[in-house]
Amino acid sequence: MLIQAHRKLGLVNADVDDWTELVQEHIENGSNFFLMMPKDINPMKRFCRLFGLPEDCKPRALTQGEFFLMSQHVEAEAFDSVLHHWDDKHQLVFVEQIDFAINRPPRLKHFIVYSPVLGIIAQHERLNRAKEVLEEFQDTAIRGAPNADAAVYSWEKGRWCLFEGR
């Protein structure tokens, strides 16, 4: 997983044939993304299986207002595509990597630098290195450009916890 301090949110359209492969790419990169899904039951079941969730899971769809609040972090092409494809037959889901069973140790290391907007920025075995990467991420913000917040999370008692120590 690469550190990508200036990445933006992308879109996967579940109407295209290779959408599950595109989702897998986002999982491998640890990046959060938008998923445009038909409101039909079959794509929903595939979504649930991809992330190791119960087959009857119901991802929370975003409102247009929620999407526009995040728009400063969205790739221009993804933004245009969302506006083009979002209709009464589709829903927009924000996929957040930290929520999925697939993104836990041993697949991931015990400390991650995570942004609730962008996703997993980096992962490390040692806390001090995760803190250093977080500082690098915060220092590389382009002046005047929107910068997504990030923090260090640690794997404790079967879940990701925000590290609040020094």
- Lookup result for tokens 């008692």: 157
Please write the tens of the pLDDT for every residue from 73-109.
Answer: 999 999 999 999 999 999 999 999 898 888 899 999 9
Confidence of residue 145 (pLDDT cuts 50, 70, 90): low
Per-residue pLDDT at 127: 96
- Which among 3, 8, 4, 2 has a CA at the least distance from the CA of 145? 8
Res. 61: pLDDT tops 80 = yes
pLDDT band at residue 6 using 50, 70 and 90 as cut-offs: low
Percentage of the residues of the chain whose pLDDT score is greater than 70: 91
Q: What is the mean pLDDT of the chain?
A: 88
| Mean per-residue pLDDT, 13-35 | 91
Helix, coil or strand: residue 63: coil
65 pLDDT higher than 90 = yes
Question: Rounded mean pLDDT of 6-18?
Answer: 89
Using 50, 70 and 90 to split pLDDT, how confident is the model at 122? very high
Q: Identify whether the C-beta of residue 163 lies closer than 8 Å to the C-beta of residue 152.
A: yes
Beta bridge mates, 152? 113
pTM of the model: 0.85
Put residue 107 in one of left, alpha, beta given phi > 0 → left and psi -120 to 50 → alpha: alpha
pLDDT tier, 111 (very low <50, low <70, confident <90, very high otherwise): very high
CB 117 within 8 A of CB 70: yes
Compute how many other C-beta atoms are within 10 angstroms of the C-beta atom of residue 73. Answer: 17
